[in-house]
Amino acid sequence: MAKITVVGDAVVVTSSLTKEDILTVAKYRGSELAIVDDEGEPIFVIGATNAGTGAINQFGVSFGGETHDGEKKATVTMIAPHVEGDIREWIADRIGSAIVNLRVLEQRIPEVLASISSERATIMEDITIA
């Protein structure tokens, strides 16, 4: 599940997924990175970018960074201006719905990744190099 860490004015959202996980799903099953409404229109989407710092709002998350440990979990950093009162309230008001939707997709993606991996393994076995 996504974690939120506050250090000074920086608010860092760390996914349970790696950027590589997100990019893999985008490559093979991009539709799995979205929550859709009853008409099939996306209402929340996650993605990853190697350009820029990423962004997060009520419509989606684009992860631009990753943790500096061996896990390489996807991150997005936002700056919170000087906030009067409880910073947690400010975060919940600004990105609370995004975090809820992100967690829904984080629960779905591991199964999608396993399916992609299995399909790729089958394809790789079917390739003959002469």
pLDDT of residue 127: 94
pLDDT of residue 60: 97
pLDDT of residue 85: 85
**pLDDT tens, residue order, the chain (130 aa):** 999 999 998 999 999 999 999 999 999 999 999 999 999 999 999 999 887 778 999 999 999 999 999 999 999 999 988 778 899 999 999 999 999 999 999 999 999 999 999 999 999 999 999 8
**What is the count of structural domains for the chain?**
1
pLDDT of residue 114: 96
Distances (CA, A) of 31 to 25, 35, 41, 68: 9, 9, 11, 29
Tokens of 98: 């995004």
Distance from the first to the final alpha carbon of the chain:
45
Enclosing domain of residue 104: 3-126
Of 127, 87, 110, 122, nearest to 29 (Cα)? 110
pTM for the whole structure: 0.88
Tokens of 23: 């990019």
How many Å apart are CA 75 and CA 1, to the nearest integer? Answer: 12
